[in-house]
A = this chain, B = another copy of it.
């Protein structure tokens, strides 16, 4: 099956759309054909509204033809993670407590996408409340494997060519990990980058982002959102040009061996090393723990990243999980109930200590900005594991989450023929710089 599927870049079709050689309706029909062929196996969607999508594509087709397109993503088919509200479809939260529940409103990002003319094709499978308990989605590269989570359906849908981009959210590993496992571009912005209004995604280190067929698709979707809906209240929001920042080769990259490193296979480390070798040969200076004490300091500080993330997210999730438990405890997964009970043992002072530890971690990391243009590491400890009961190890994704920095997963590596992402991490509120670096990095082959 892996040969039958491929992401579909809408931005790569821009010239054909402008000339009339392609149309939004024709583009959508190619997506629908992929859905017809593969959705029965992949199970990326919770809700799919083909009729509404066709009507929207026809309207977009007319606008392109008349020279009045609303934006560069006018007519782009998009999947929306099912924790993000939509006025015309239920928002099921990956929980039986919300199956079929309609909020009656569009989230800020969804409203902005509609203003830009994008087609909200459907809602995509999420784990329970975007946490760990998985949904039914399967990895399109190997149906016996997890697509990763929590943005499972958005990742699998992009990989399968069902839509050009999917909205996702990340507070632990929920964009970087499924992007890695499904072989698509995934981007978690800096803290506050995208307005999270109307998304079940309220934690202090969570961010809304996108998974897409290419760097250009991801950037375009997010900058179109932010130009209309802004970032989170109080934050500057994703800033940069109205189309993909031009590629710019970095002077130096910091190679990070974070806590996931010990779990990666020798084969994957070799693939990573080959890619690094290519970067080095292209004249990019590679800093490592061996030659740069500041990198070793970051790696050491990140040893507690996962435990700290769990404490912080746990405290911040007591509400609303406690009211969901009141409503019907049997409809929360057992792991969710256990986690809630653990979190309720925390005190406000425990939480304050965790915030202070996180702040210290961020200070340590920020020092790297003087030495390198970005950091490079893996996106996951290996390819997607077999089985659907777990969404896989988030070890490599946690640092970007806890640090609040932009994190990009690029589908540049593989192990045993299955995709693994190369991850670039940038510096807070310098997301456009990270895209410029990524454009250069993806163009440089490995040795």
Contact = CB atoms under 8 A, between A and B. Distances in A.
Contacts of A393: none
A79 to B, nearest CB: 20
A226 B348 CA distance: 8
A188 interface: no
B108 A230 contact: no
Contacts of A195: 319
Interface in A168-227: 195, 197-198, 202-205, 226-227
A204 B197 CA distance: 12
A107 B316 CA distance: 14
Copies in the complex: 2
Contacts of A59: none
A387 interface: no
A343 to B, nearest CB: 10
Interface stretch (A232-240, A296-304, A366-374, A407-415): A232-240
A233 B197 contact: no
A319 B239 contact: no
Nearest to A204: B234
Interface string A319-360: 110110011000000000000000000011001100100000
A373 B164 CA distance: 57
Contact of A315 (B106, B227, B230): B230
Contacts of A234: 204-205, 316, 355
A235 B312 CA distance: 11
Contact of A108 (B198, B229, B320): B320
A355 to B, nearest CB: 7
A440 interface: no
Contacts of A389: none
B236 A355 contact: yes
Given A233-B203, A352-B236, A87 B318 contact: no
A105 interface: yes
B233 A202 contact: yes
B323 A230 contact: no
Given A105-B323, A106-B323, A323-B106, A233 B316 contact: yes
A38 interface: no
A81 interface: no
Interface string A105-149: 111100110000000000000000000000000000000000000
A229 B343 CA distance: 11
A58 to B, nearest CB: 21
B233 A108 contact: no
A197 B320 CA distance: 8
A320 B197 CA distance: 8
B237 A348 contact: yes
A198 B235 CA distance: 21
A229 B197 contact: no
Contacts of A348: 226-227, 230-231, 236-237, 239
Contacts of A230: 315-316, 318, 348, 351
Given A204-B233, A230-B316, 12 more contacts: A104-B327, A111-B322, A195-B319, A197-B320, A198-B319, A204-B234, A204-B235, A229-B319, A230-B318, A230-B348, A233-B316, A237-B348
16 contacts: A87-B326, A104-B327, A105-B323, A111-B323, A112-B319, A203-B233, A204-B235, A205-B234, A229-B318, A229-B319, A230-B315, A230-B348, A234-B316, A236-B348, A236-B351, A239-B348
Which 4 residue pairs across A and B have the least CB separation, nearest first?
A: A204-B234, A108-B319, A204-B233, A233-B316
